[in-house]
Structure 1
Amino acid sequence: MSDKTVVPVGVRLSTDIEYRPNRSAPYRARVRWFDPVSKRRMSLSEGKHDEDQARQWLRAIIEAAEAGLSRSSPP
């Protein structure tokens, strides 16, 4: 069974990138939203090697949410 997080269409997303030194992938990209069904705050995050990769990951999540797709780990 795969663990997929669905980012609902039409919800407001907040994003951030945090630099965490002394990590193998020091840039943590994170997207958060409130699930309209459960009313819980949901989050996806992934570590990246540089800030450009983190921004690309966030862009892929946002585009998937706008298109109505679910992604657990975009390319």
Structure 2
Amino acid sequence: MKKVVLLMGFALAGCGAARPLEVAKGESLPPAPYGAAAVPTPEQLLTPTSQQRPQRSDELLKNSEERRSDEFDLPPN
């Protein structure tokens, strides 16, 4: 039991020791995307865009409004 607790302590202690990411020796970054002038840095590749992490809209409907007419809501033929 003591060994399990000790191993869990070592595992949790290693979680906080993070270094900045670097390119491995002998490797290179991926090629630049089509149309891009330069190869993105690792920080740019790891930063999510607004499409990958959209902002949540919490705005509540405060006033009821009438919908405008839909010209394409036609009865079937």
Q: TM-score, normalised by structure 1?
A: 0.20
Q: Which has the higher contact order (CA 8 A, sep 6+)?
A: 1
Q: TM-score, normalised by structure 2?
A: 0.20
**Whose strand fraction is larger, Structure 1's or Structure 2's?**
1
